[in-house]
Amino acid sequence: MERVINFFEALMRGLTFLSPLVNLAVRIYVGCIFWRSGLVKIASIDSTIWLFENEYHVPVLSPVFAAYLSTWTELIFSALLIIGLFGRFSAFVLFIVNLIAVLSYPSLMAAGVEWHLVWGLLLLVIIFHGPGKISCDHFIWGQLKKRFGKESVEHHGRR
């Protein structure tokens, strides 16, 4: 029985060791999806505006404003997500963009909805678990702890 316990403890240590790489891979994967979407939109902005005027049904916003807003939101926050800067916030913003995309495009096929579901779930993992150790957020947080003391930073981080 002790061998079994030792085996699983070693396995868990290995998985824990690899978890920052998994977090990074998830951020890069989802970030690249939104980055490419933003690049396609900006490369053919006239077509993007046409889609927002005729296909996508975004309430309240003008189609032109919505086209530019979604384009720049995808480009900016996907880049931030990939490098892990404001990781949770970036994931939250992209989660909202993803949700709006599903809700505003009723013609989205079942397969498209499934992909959006996968991306949404991966973004939720980042929102709830953070961007991981291989991120700008982790580095900056570590520097703040060194500079101002662990207790001071943790106290202000809880607000």
- pLDDT at residue 12, as a whole number: 92
- pLDDT at residue 44, as a whole number: 96
67-92: per-residue pLDDT in tens? 999 999 999 999 999 999 999 999 99
Q: Which residues contact 35 (CB under 8 A, 6 or more apart)?
A: 74, 75, 78, 79, 82
Mean pLDDT across the chain, nearest whole number?
A: 91
Check pLDDT > 60 for residue 21.
yes
State the pLDDT confidence band at 159, using cuts at 50, 70 and 90. very low
- pLDDT at residue 158, as a whole number: 46
Check pLDDT > 90 for residue 56.
no
Mean pLDDT confidence for 109-136:
92
* pTM (global) more than 0.95: no
Residue 123 burial by Cβ neighbours in a 10 Å radius (0-12, 13-18, 19+): buried
